[in-house]
Amino acid sequence: MQYQADVTIELKSGMLDPEGTTIKRALEHLGYKTESVRTAKKYTIDLQAENVQTARETVEQMCQKLIANPIIHNYAISLRELQ
């Protein structure tokens, strides 16, 4: 089966996000007041797997071994079957 995973990587809460802070300031220049702006990265991964569970386990391993750095990141996986 063909699956598509959206992997979202973000800094753990409490960690400094200088890019987010800069964007927050720029929004203020435009007149928008925000509580906070935090950045995240999204990776879209297409893969073949026997079933949805195997696909999820594989992407989970990819996150732990490479895509995220568990010391500083949280990650979320959203998975769907492609027709």
Judged by the rule CB under 8 A, the positions of this chain that interact with another protein are: 11, 15-16, 18-19, 22, 65-67, 69, 71-72
Residue 1: CB minimum distance to another protein, A: 27
By C-beta, is 16 or 30 nearer to another protein?
A: 16
- Which one, 19 or 81, has the nearer CB to another protein? 19
Instruction: Report yes or no: 49 and 3 within 8 Å, Cβ to Cβ.
Output: yes
* Of 38, 58, 37, the residue nearest 49 (C-alpha): 58
- For the CB of residue 17, give the shortest distance to another protein in the complex, in Å: 8
Task: Enumerate residues 6+ apart whose C-beta is below 8 A from 82.
Answer: 2, 3, 4, 46
